[in-house]
Chains A and B, each alone.
Chain A
Amino acid sequence: MNGAKMREKVAFIILGFATLLVVLPIILTIFYIVRNGIGSVTWEFITQPPRNGMKEGGILPAIIGTIVLIIGTMFFSLPLGILSAVYLVEYAKDNTFTRLIKLSVVNLSGVPSIVYGLFGFTLFVGFLRFGTSILAGSLTLAIMSLPVIITATKEALESVPYSFREISLSLGATKWQTVRYCVLPYAVPGILTGTVLSLSRAAGETAPILFTVAAFYLPRLPHSVFDQVMALPYHLYVISIHVPNMPTELKFATGFVLIVLVFLMNLVSIILRAHFRKKKLW
């Protein structure tokens, strides 16, 4: 074996080792949480409110709270995200306004989550007087999710062949009819994939909900959009930092439930993608 071949072998082994350094901790982390958490995840744990200063009982209010926040976030971010992407792909001309929108999307995707929290707190909780509520938290998370939804929708719309639009327009359809019946239906898979992914991120976020919606301890379930709720990620933060003598199994179990929820959403997005890719007609 000559020197160059030898060097190649060594280099590839180093690259493989680096990859192992990334991949192994991922597997170990998941394994660690699952092994320590799964034993305490009983039916009672996911269907009962916490008792005795959160040291006993379950985490039902936190699960419900996170689901409510996911729905609220979707309610605001989905229409807004899809419509802005439609504007960018189908309506926008190459002018300053369009460039400003694109720059804003890039900028929004880079804003730290805690800054979203501050912003949500002054605008929604304070200025608009929604108080610390589901409404304020959902709006904050919705704005944070916008860039991912817009980018995914944009890509989905762009991948619909241009001829679809030309044919529709040549048959006398209006611009909106073309978008509505000949472009959007074919972009649905891409849009869904991106949306579910961005919602799974929102479900796991803690910083934006710290001051806008999250309740430290609130065993009852919410009645209106102006109520506070507990949320899984915030609950995990609280019990790992602020509750002394918290049983470790319950922390692991909470982490386990949160990871399962987020992974399930990711799985749905992957299945959707695979399912629609098979049915792709062009």
Chain B
Amino acid sequence: MQKKISEHIIEACIRLSGFLVIAFVFLIFLFLLKDSLSLFGVYSLGQFLFGTNWLPVSEPPKFGMVPLLLGSIYVTVGAIVICVPIGVASAMFIAEVAPTSIKHILKALIEILAAIPSVVLGFIGIVWLGPFLRTALNLKTGMCGLTGSVLLAFMAMPTIISLSEDALVSVPKTFKEAAFGLGATRWQALWRIILPSASSGIIAGVMLGIGRVIGETMVVLMVTGNAPVIPVSILQPLRTLTATIAGEMGEAVSGSEHYFALFAVGMILFIITFLINFAAEVFLRKARK
């Protein structure tokens, strides 16, 4: 059977599209790597990775990423501490406790949360949450790590809740029925049987949530106070890896050390999120089995 030329063309396009998806990942990696490596021609890798000062415009400039990495870690840990227990508990409520009608409303609300642009949450942080936390906790400034953590916890909620809920719902019904048959209450079945069985899927959701929190830019840029110093507490102004790129790229002269240092920060972010997402994927595969 003879294929038409047009069919050959369209099939070539289809293969090309598949190929392009791979190419984009390589291009992102390559372009980040190229510009990051330019930094290490003039600045030592050790000082970048372990330096404790980020002073891009001092003389000589210092590009130690430790303060930024710690800033990211502080904010992320804060967000996870807030959103994992609340998120998993909500998922349990939605999956096992709520009646069907309420379930639909709750799921719709969580979809709405996922749709709110991060810049709007950042704005809420500036006009309301920051000042509120400042008065409530008697802080010097509301623009601090905690404000970022709270907002990021909300941004990660939809990911964590929907994946945990999927995991809980996909636990075979027979598990629950067996538990009921042995006289367990609904709570005992949920806590001792369903939750442990769904753990892989829940961990995957938490991992993806962490990935989302580390990579989020606008919220932390707007509300964490932009202080590139080694943070002592989450109640202080600090600055994350992402906010540094977003905040300084506009001023960095193209081709300068500063410019390359920002790409090196981007490279670090790329590697961190790659590892986290890879781990999440491994847990997801385990959950599907």
Contact = CB atoms under 8 A, between A and B. Distances in A.
B116 A16 contact: no
B97 A106 contact: no
Interface size grouping (class) on chain B: 35 or more
A26 B14 contact: no
A15 B31 contact: no
A251 B123 contact: yes
A210 B246 contact: yes
B215 A115 contact: yes
A204 to B, nearest CB: 3
A178 B189 CA distance: 48
Contacts of B75: none
B187 A211 contact: no
B120 A33 contact: yes
B273 interface: yes
A21 B150 CA distance: 12
Nearest to B82: A21
A78 to B, nearest CB: 11
9 contacts: A18-B93, A83-B17, A87-B14, A106-B277, A115-B32, A207-B218, A211-B249, A241-B126, A258-B119
Interface size grouping (class) on chain A: 35 or more
Given A22-B157, A114-B245, A233 B119 contact: yes
Contacts of B274: 107, 110-111
Contacts of B222: 237, 240-241
Interface string B236-277: 000000100110011000100000001100100110011011
Contact of B18 (A84, A112, A175, A200): A84
A109 B277 contact: yes
Nearest to A236: B119
Interface string B1-40: 1010001001101111110111011011001101100000
A262 B112 CA distance: 10
B217 interface: yes
Contact of B186 (A8, A18, A106, A116): A8
Nearest to B190: A11
A183 B118 CA distance: 37
Interface stretch (B46-54, B84-92, B170-178): B84-92
A87 B18 contact: yes
B136 to A, nearest CB: 15
Contact of A11 (B7, B22, B109, B191): B191
B21 A123 contact: no
Contact of A255 (B120, B215, B281): B120
A72 B230 CA distance: 41
A29 interface: yes
A91 interface: yes
